[in-house]
Structure 1
Amino acid sequence: MAHVGFIGLGIMGLPMAVNLIKAGHIVTGYNRSQEKIDKLVAEGGKGANSIADAVKDADVVISIVPDSADVEAVALGDDGLLANAAAGTFWIDASSIRPDVSVRLAAAAKEVGIRAVDAPVSGGEQGAIEGSLSIMVGGDSADVEAVRSVLEAVGKTIVHVGPTGSGQTVKAANQLIVAGTIQLVAESLVFLEAHNVDTEAAIKVLAGGLAGNRILDRKAESMAARSFEPGFRVDLHHKDLGIVTSAAREAGVAIPLGALTAQLMGALRAEGHGSLDHSALLLLVEQLSGRSR
């Protein structure tokens, strides 16, 4: 059992924190909106009124916030994690951010005796609720093993992928694959509907063959129903694809399909759909096909 300070109780963070409570850990959570803190307390957690309050007695701190600047705000400053967590505290950053920012903040943490690992997650809201997330972890081997039992409360596939920043690099690749797959599923659904095929039957048979994938399993039905309640928002995937395209350019790697998908995600966001689930790429396919409802 660990005392966990949890920062960021959003779509992913709140169910992760709840699963930590269910696993027997003591969880003190902080979020910018009080409503989410109240929900954590209702599940048996403790509420904090600041980042400093959340981390001061923690053995392990987990942060999961939207972007690189948000992680910097969590870590730095008088009220931040590095100034208020005790030396020897483990910091697991489960946010999806730029790898270079992760490396820089981990180095700053090390200077004050805080042991940082980057551990972005994949699996969406449902995976967070089920505690079945895939977690790609970067950092020192000893640090990763020390926090493995905490990670096992929120994920099923936990893999140490290399030194600090490696987790973020693997997450960038994950987001590239997910976005491309969503785009192809969206195109397939619009294609099937144009030919008056029973989409429910088509999804079933496609999912059972070589075309089978998690997007078909988890999102195709809601996409066909035009239900885009956010499990992972377009705004966030747009941000992640910006990380991918930038990192690929820096490494001299060509990602032509990924770059196109990034443009499509950006166009969907520009149409005012940033708050929808990323599976709303289907709306853009419909628009481009002249079949908007």
Structure 2
Amino acid sequence: MKIGLVGLGRMGEAIAQRLVETGCQIVAFDRDLDRCKAVKSSTIDIATNARTVAESSDIVISIVSDDDGVRSLFLGSDGFLQTDIAGKLFIEMSTIRPMTSVQLAATVVERRAGLIDAPVLGSVPSVRKGSLLALVGGSTPHVDQSRQVLGRLTRKIMHLGGSGSGNALKLAVNLTMAAYLQSIAEALALGRRYDLSIDTMLEVLSEAPTANPWLASKLNVLKGGSADITLDVQTLRKDVMCAVAAGALAGVPMPGGAGVLSALSAAVAHGWGSRDLGELPRFFREFTLQGEPDEQDRSRDGPLLEVDDGAAR
């Protein structure tokens, strides 16, 4: 089976390798030529643009960074729609606004082809094991057609409804992750001001009723260690921005989301956008608190805030 793939970032590259390992022939494209060179092999051909990928494949996966990038893939001068796409299926795995998928799906259907939105839960290790969870929106025949490809990448495919429903749930999931991350940032900052160590607080949080697998996976980076980037701060900011925008369009107020977006935007503005999202709590302690900055990483002795009879002074 020959599959088209556009987008060779961390997830796209892992998807390409997984599909090859499961017997697929891939034709791929990315605007970054270095990424193309890194994956080119006897089983992965490199195309010169998105249009060529569509011409060479019956099923095309795309996974890029944002709505503008997705629209360009379909509508650009060298995009998918610049060739005959009748009978082809497009699997859009990017995390984007629901309305973008709704609009593009209508255009693709007019050209006698299919488009489903299929963002996934999981990161590169999940791709390699074929254990992603696909959140899929689109028509039942197109979703059924996609299973021959998505089944190689996932442990479960959830068909949620019409176009855009997969995007809506992915944004909802990432919004809750961002809100949880912000609560961890604030909790650790509060504890530090009362002379609690980061390690102690994380030990307790890991055994609290609110503990979850995400927290367990991020303990090392939350403690100041290094970790493979699963999702960077800038991308999470984009996802929360999409969620807030989708909420505004649907009449859903999102004061919490707006607050998290403000914190993420501050981190991006300070040059932390390319860092793993697990580093956001450290940014919060170092750059946003009133008074003295957090000193734990500098081996400060003594409490950060004196306490007398239960009152801080």
TM-score of the superposed pair, with normalisation by structure 2: 0.85
Give deviations 1:164-205, integer Å, cap 9, x for gaps: 011111111011011112222333444556644472x76456
Give deviations 1:89-120, integer Å, cap 9, x for gaps: 11000011121111111111111111100111
Task: Point out where structure 2 has 5 or more consecutive residues left out of the alignment.
Answer: 298-313
Q: Counterpart of 1:288 in structure 2: which amino acid?
A: T
Q: Counterpart of 1:58 in structure 2: which amino acid?
A: S
- Measure how far apart 1:271 and its partner are: 1.4
The answer to whether the 8 Å contact 1:58/1:85 transfers is: no
SS at match of 2:10: coil
Distance 1:252 1:180, change over 3 A: same
SS at match of 1:27: strand
Aligned residue pair count? 291
Map 1:166-205 to 2 at 5 A: 166-191=165-190, 195-197=195-197, 199=199, 203=202
- Measure how far apart 1:209 and its partner are: 4.7
Task: Point out where structure 1 has 5 or more consecutive residues left out of the alignment.
Answer: none
The answer to whether the 8 Å contact 2:67/2:97 transfers is: yes
Deviates further, 273-282 or 22-31 = 273-282
Q: Distance in 2 between matches of 1:142 and 1:156?
A: 20
Matched with 1:215 is: 214
- Measure how far apart 1:243 and its partner are: 1.2
Residue 288 in structure 1 maps to residue 294 in structure 2: no
Residue 144 in structure 1 maps to residue 143 in structure 2: yes
Distance 1:18 1:259, change over 3 A: same
- Measure how far apart 1:32 and its partner are: 1.1
Distance 1:132 1:208, change over 3 A: farther
SS at match of 2:275: coil
Residue 112 in structure 1 maps to residue 111 in structure 2: yes
SS at match of 1:291: coil
The answer to whether the 8 Å contact 1:134/1:155 transfers is: yes
Distance 1:182 1:274, change over 3 A: same
Matched with 1:70 is: 69
Give deviations 1:200-253, integer Å, cap 9, x for gaps: x76456435522213212212122125365322222211111111112122222
Matched with 1:35 is: 34
Q: Distance in 1 between matches of 2:196 and 2:203?
A: 16
Q: Counterpart of 1:151 in structure 2: which amino acid?
A: L
The answer to whether the 8 Å contact 2:220/2:227 transfers is: no
Residue 25 in structure 1 maps to residue 24 in structure 2: yes
- Measure how far apart 1:52 and its partner are: 2.0
Give deviations 1:106-137, integer Å, cap 9, x for gaps: 11111111110011122233333433222110
SS at match of 2:149: helix
Q: Distance in 2 between matches of 1:264 and 1:53?
A: 41
Distance 1:155 1:116, change over 3 A: same
Deviates further, 273-282 or 103-112 = 273-282
Q: Distance in 1 between matches of 2:38 and 2:240?
A: 31
SS at match of 1:56: helix
Q: Distance in 1 between matches of 2:158 and 2:227?
A: 30
SS at match of 2:159: strand
The answer to whether the 8 Å contact 1:82/1:114 transfers is: no
Deviates further, 66-75 or 130-139 = 130-139
Q: Counterpart of 2:24 in structure 1: which amino acid?
A: H
Distance 1:203 1:216, change over 3 A: same
Distance 1:78 1:217, change over 3 A: same
Q: Counterpart of 1:185 in structure 2: which amino acid?
A: I
Q: Sequence identity of aligned pairs in percent?
A: 31
Higher Cα Rg: structure 1 or 2? 2
- Measure how far apart 1:35 and its partner are: 2.1
The answer to whether the 8 Å contact 2:198/2:223 transfers is: no
Give deviations 1:131-163, integer Å, cap 9, x for gaps: 322211000011101111211222223211110
Distance 1:120 1:154, change over 3 A: same
SS at match of 1:6: strand
